[in-house]
Structure formats: C-alpha cells, structure tokens
Structure 1
C-alpha cells in the first residue's frame, strides 16, 4: 500500500490487508445502486408429474449459481453496502488458478460515481504499494548480478543524504530504516492538495523529510524507503527506473497493461475508473475526482498502473520464484515481525503479520498462510492474496481510498465463495 496519513489501516486479520500496511485518509459519499447483471445458468421450472386427481407436482430444483454468478453477487452486495459511504462506483475482481481452470474476471458498478459505463473487464487501476515488490525485485536482480548488495549503505549509493549514510538497502526494503515517510508530512499534503497534477521528482518528495530526525531501526512503514530504493536502482543500473521496469519485468512477463506514468499509452486513462478522494487530509478534494495518471507523487513506492490480469500474472511469477535466483527469492521472503520488529522464520496465530521485501505474509485464520498486499493511492485500492498451497491468486480493486477500509472483508468473502464452490464440486 502507499502509506497516507489518516488511514486506520488494519494490520491484522483478513481485515488487515493494506497498500501501506499503515495508511490513511478520510472518506464519505453517496450511494450508487447498480442493477444486477443477469447470472448465467439461472434456470427454473415447474413440471407436472401427474395429471390425475391427487397427482403430485414436482418442482425442478433451481440449479446452483455458477461461481462467476456468485462472485458477481458478492461484488454487487459490497457495492450496495459500502458504495455511498466510501464514495466509489467501480469494483473489479480477478481469480487465477495454477491448474487448467479458466481465470475468472468479474466487475460491478460504473466507471464514475453517478454515471459512466459498466466497468470493463480490462479496466486499469492505480495499484499503489503493490509497486513496492517491483522495486524490490529490481534491486534483488541487481544484487544477483553483483552490481550491489542489500548490505550496502546509503552512504555508498546516495551520499547526498549524509544523515542516513549508515542505513542499508535491506533496511529500506524491510521498512526498518527509521526514515520518516514523506506522505505523512503536512507540507507534502498541502502541495498535492493545491494541485494533484503536480509533477513531483523523487528528490522533491524526499526533501519533505530529509531534515527530520532518523527514528529507531525497527519496523515502521515509510514510503520514503522505496523512493530511495528507486534512486539506487537508477544509480546502479545507469538507467531510468521506468526503463528498468520495462526491460526486466514488464516485457519479459508480457504485462501489456502495466506502466509507470507518464510512460503510459495514450488510451490508458480512458480505461481507468475515475479515482475519488474521500481523504479528510485533502479537504478540498473530498468526494471529488483525481487525475487517473497523476501519480508522480508515488513513483517507485506506489506509482504503477495495471490491470488485474497483469497483476495476477505478476503475482504468480513473483511468488512462484520465476523472477529471482534462489538466494534472492529467500531474501524477498525473509520476514520482519510487524508486531515485534524481530526477524521471524514464519508467521503464526500469535504473530500473524510478517513484512518481507515489499511483500507481506499473513497467518489467515481460515485460509492458512498467504501472501498479500493492499496498495492504496489517494484514489484507488488494489488488494491481492496469493495462496502458496494451491497457487491461486485473488485480486480486487475499487476506485476510492478510505480511512476505515473494508476491502479485506470483500477478499475474505470471495475466498469463502470460492471454497464453497470447490467443496460443492468435490461432493
């Protein structure tokens, strides 16, 4: 997630999946009722079993809804329950499996609040801090090539920030650097609020915190960490961050709908549901549209735009070990307890959340151990869950961001629906 002040981000439970794993913002809104889409295979009938007096009538059972119809119903119920309060109009869901079952893609609502067309199957979204794992993978690939080490200190790569010279790259990626987050600074919020289309540079964003004292070397979510990581990618590769993303990840994985603004195709914004701010920290923008591609404030910490099809393809490659050598894959998955800031080998019911290098492992009470992340910008939320035992990925997206987030609840509902249909199919 992208960490924005004011958001009561849940850090535990299925109710705890978030872009910034600590986030903020405020919301309010108006309700949009969306007509239900006609479900496939809704067939019923009344047949006469006998015509004699006293003859019985047999009612043919209504076939069970397909899994797609059930999931569409889940989305529509969530939209009806939360769309007004959280001022969103659009929902997308994608489920992919590791076996031969076809992917499931479901949408609900309309592309803008109070109007617009239906949400297209290829809708694109601001993915927020799902971007962080891309940044981590770039650095881990560079490490595998001997161009840097996660033990390297900032004094080597970014000497312009002497106060942080002893912070390591690994501490940036694991959120244990102690460097404050620029998204929590009033000056940044005022500048963004004055003009959401402002073109920020990484240096300007870091300037909001470079004068602040360094905190303790313990887990604390900070978007500044990943801006600095982006700068190191560029220093070590002698190339732009956007070009490295394209050459090392986007092109090899065939991610046709993934881009870092402003390096996006001209039609990208037209495929994006309108983002809405309900953040009390942006008082002049509450319940108002934000620029779909106005993401220079997030960059390597949360600036990517993508479709859920691309995102689930990326997640399967990320967690399936297709992008990194074994040693770097282990580093990616090394965990810091978000509760104690200690290194942990795995998560447990008593210590359920572990932060890796731009990824989070969670001991889910129903689903078991999963990887997840919820990325939040100031106008979108995108959450994914990866199930290591089955290889299934669930990804959901919505076109607003909130202080009291319930999107993890929807992900939990989707998981229950999928489990129920799997159990029915096996019976």
Structure 2
C-alpha cells in the first residue's frame, strides 16, 4: 500500500507505533550518557554504529525483496543537543556510491501540513476563513460549492482521490516525466459523485487547497510556501519538484523505486527524481531529513501559527468515527487534524506522526510531545507491504533502549 498518496487510514501508521516508544527511550537514553564531552561523544558514536548496523541488516534482509538500496534515520532533541543522523546503503540499487546523511528525499504527504499552515496563516491575516466554501473561492467546481476549506483539510469533504483513479495510474505509467498541474489532476475526479462527508483520505482535497492559496494570494503556491516557511526557517535543502528545485538537487537524491502491484509499468524502475508535479500541494516536496525535522519541530511547538490557528491545526476528528475528539486514546487511537495526524501509543500517550509516500520513497516522522523527541526515517522504495519496514522501527527502538539502560 502507499503510505499517504493512497493512504487507506491511520492504521497504516498505527502499526508502526512501536517506533514511538523509541522516542521516550531516546530522550532518557541520551540524558543517561555520562556528562563529560568525551564520554558523550563516545556514546553517541557507538549509538550511531549500532543504528547503522540495524539499517544494514535490514538492507541485507529486504533490499532485494523491496528493491531498495538506501535508508536514513534522524533523531533530534528539544534542548539543542546535536541530533543523531545515520544512513546505510547506496544511492542506486546495485550501485556503489554510499548514501549520505545529508541526502534529500521525496517526502510525499508530509507536504500536506505546509499547505494547511499557509491557509491558516492567511486566516490569521483575515484574508480568508477556513469556514469559507469552495463556492466562494473556486466557483469553477459547482458540484463542490458547499464544501468548506476546513472539510478539505480534515479529509471530510467526500471528494474522491485522484491518485486512486485507474486513469491516473495509466497516465503516470505511460509518461512518468509528464508535467501536470493541480487543475489537470482535479479533472480526474471532478465529474465523479461525492462520497459521504466523513473521514476519507483524498489527495484531491489538498490540490483544491493549493488552488485556493493561489486565488487568494495571486501568487503561486510554491512561492507562498517558500516565502512563508522555507526561507524563515532556513530550509535551504527543500524545494518543490520540479518547479523550484535547482538542477543540482537531483544529484543529492537516492534513486527511488516504484514496486506497487497497481503500477506494473514502473516496477523496479527509478522514478523521476524531481518531477513531482503529479503530487503538487498534496505531496510535492523534496527535503533533507535535517530540514524536515526543523520544520516539524517548528510546526508542533507553535512557531508557525498564532494560538487560535494552532488549535485549529490540531483539532482532531476520529479516523474511525469521524467525530471530533480532543485527543487520541487507547479506545480511539487514530485522529486526523488539518494536515497533521495524531495517534495514541500506550508507552508515550498521544504523538504526532505522518507517513508520506511517493511512487519511489517512504518518509515517516514522529514527534512525542512528552519528551520533545522528533524522529524521521526515509527509504528509497515504495511497496505494497510495509510490514517488514515497520519491524525495522522495533529494531531501532530496541537499540536505543539498550543504550538507555547503560
């Protein structure tokens, strides 16, 4: 299955949440390291080696099965301590160039939070309200005129997902390099019937959100994200493919491989490194894990929005019942906000997490409010069965927990 360009539900990430226990262990384990600088450096280097060994073991076990060659993990802490960055493998399947800790990746639907934040910033500037309807801002879609911006962002609009349409699959396989627009992608579903206005993951919502940003600001979506988010946060290794990516960026991406049953025409082939025009504001960002963790920390600690809009961003509905919830619980563990996702894990309580997938990459981040630890993991293939990769998260957890006990 695809993590988020075709995300079925929050359960895909929920089964990965053994990783989240890692976060609590990471925080405690790091502070347990001896305080002298030399001891801390030695312990960190040893932890890096152990984590790299975990990644190498996964490559040996799953590399051929998943047609992947590169993995990367980054952990950051709330008090400014240096983060942990570990990578393993090579930039191409069967190649020899080691993947760098500074590699960039297609981060898929981790992009959605950027789209939500821009709209919420516009609301704070009184240029729109998230309760405005599509009839006000996008009258070219009369069948959807009563749907609100809030329903788009919370995945409760009932608008079908363009990325799940057979015609979209066929077009992508016929010409992976073709450049699409948000409007052309919306056309795959504009004449389909609406579903119920309950939670249903649809990437089309975020293309429409992008079009609203452009209508309100009279600037391109990519310009607004760059001006409002990337430049202020110093995210110099983040761009939108292919619109804003410098030519040299492609050389910093590992090759990404599509391995999904629905896309036999792409099987085992490297996807275009920069052309994410098929994803746009739903999943078109390319970023380093260092940049992504910088952004996610700013996002979840309230640096990007006024308090009122931060509350709107984090206003949750239950993925299971589509009812509003104040937080996820053991009985109702999956919640979706406005481009953000919260899940409940017994060892840590509620955590913020998002799994993003393109046709050649998987990138997951996890933020644990209780400890302030933030984790991002990236791999360079996309497959239908993510169960083995989720076991890798368990392995990483055990490794860091072992250092906690030392």
Normalised TM-score (structure 1):
0.85
Tell me if structure 1 keeps the 8 A contact 2:162–2:203: yes
Aligned to 2:285: 304
Match of 1:398 among 373, 376, 379: 379
Aligned to 1:321: 302
CA deviation after TM superposition for structure 1 residue 13, in Å:
3.0
* Aligned-pair Cα RMSD in Å: 1.9
Tell me if structure 2 keeps the 8 A contact 1:255–1:310: yes
CA deviation after TM superposition for structure 1 residue 203, in Å:
0.8
SS in 2 for 1:328: helix
2:171 is equivalent to residue 169 of structure 1: no
Deviations 1:65-119 (A, max 9, x none): 8211121122112222221111100001111011243111100010000113000
Match of 2:63 among 83, 87, 95: 83
SS in 1 for 2:228: helix
TM alignment of 1:366-405, pairs within 5 A: 366-405=347-386
The structure-2 alpha-carbon separation of the partners of 1:65 and 1:254, relative to structure 1 and needing over 3 Å to count, comes to closer
Once residues 44 and 208 of structure 2 are traced to their aligned partners in structure 1, the CA distance between those partners, rounded to angstroms, is: 52
Higher helix content, 1 or 2:
2
Tell me if structure 2 keeps the 8 A contact 1:127–1:376: yes
Once residues 289 and 421 of structure 1 are traced to their aligned partners in structure 2, the CA distance between those partners, rounded to angstroms, is: 37
Once residues 350 and 185 of structure 1 are traced to their aligned partners in structure 2, the CA distance between those partners, rounded to angstroms, is: 33
Once residues 348 and 189 of structure 2 are traced to their aligned partners in structure 1, the CA distance between those partners, rounded to angstroms, is: 39
Tell me if structure 2 keeps the 8 A contact 1:394–1:411: no
Once residues 397 and 153 of structure 2 are traced to their aligned partners in structure 1, the CA distance between those partners, rounded to angstroms, is: 29
TM alignment of 1:216-295, pairs within 5 A: 216-262=196-242, 263-295=244-276
SS in 2 for 1:84: helix
Aligned to 1:154: 134
Deviations 1:244-270 (A, max 9, x none): 011000000000100002211111110
Once residues 258 and 65 of structure 1 are traced to their aligned partners in structure 2, the CA distance between those partners, rounded to angstroms, is: 28
Aligned to 1:103: 83
The structure-2 alpha-carbon separation of the partners of 1:67 and 1:5, relative to structure 1 and needing over 3 Å to count, comes to closer
Match of 1:13 among 6, 9, 15: 15
Q: Which runs of 5+ in 2 are unaligned?
A: 20-42
SS in 1 for 2:97: strand
Match of 1:120 among 100, 105, 108: 100
Aligned to 1:417: 399
The structure-2 alpha-carbon separation of the partners of 1:336 and 1:16, relative to structure 1 and needing over 3 Å to count, comes to farther
Once residues 154 and 212 of structure 1 are traced to their aligned partners in structure 2, the CA distance between those partners, rounded to angstroms, is: 17
Q: Work out which structure has the larger RCO, using CA pairs closer than 8 Å and 6 or more positions apart in sequence.
A: 2
SS in 2 for 1:339: coil
Aligned to 2:5: 3
Tell me if structure 1 keeps the 8 A contact 2:18–2:394: no
SS in 2 for 1:122: coil
Aligned to 1:135: 115
CA deviation after TM superposition for structure 1 residue 409, in Å:
3.2
CA deviation after TM superposition for structure 1 residue 281, in Å:
1.3
CA deviation after TM superposition for structure 1 residue 6, in Å:
9.1
Once residues 65 and 94 of structure 1 are traced to their aligned partners in structure 2, the CA distance between those partners, rounded to angstroms, is: 14
Once residues 390 and 302 of structure 2 are traced to their aligned partners in structure 1, the CA distance between those partners, rounded to angstroms, is: 25
Aligned positions, number: 379
CA deviation after TM superposition for structure 1 residue 15, in Å:
5.5
Once residues 69 and 273 of structure 2 are traced to their aligned partners in structure 1, the CA distance between those partners, rounded to angstroms, is: 15
2:322 is equivalent to residue 341 of structure 1: yes
Tell me if structure 1 keeps the 8 A contact 2:106–2:284: yes
Once residues 404 and 329 of structure 2 are traced to their aligned partners in structure 1, the CA distance between those partners, rounded to angstroms, is: 26
The structure-2 alpha-carbon separation of the partners of 1:239 and 1:371, relative to structure 1 and needing over 3 Å to count, comes to same
Once residues 120 and 219 of structure 2 are traced to their aligned partners in structure 1, the CA distance between those partners, rounded to angstroms, is: 16
The structure-2 alpha-carbon separation of the partners of 1:16 and 1:7, relative to structure 1 and needing over 3 Å to count, comes to farther
Once residues 147 and 8 of structure 2 are traced to their aligned partners in structure 1, the CA distance between those partners, rounded to angstroms, is: 27
The structure-2 alpha-carbon separation of the partners of 1:332 and 1:64, relative to structure 1 and needing over 3 Å to count, comes to closer
Tell me if structure 2 keeps the 8 A contact 1:181–1:223: yes
SS in 1 for 2:82: coil
Once residues 64 and 283 of structure 1 are traced to their aligned partners in structure 2, the CA distance between those partners, rounded to angstroms, is: 43
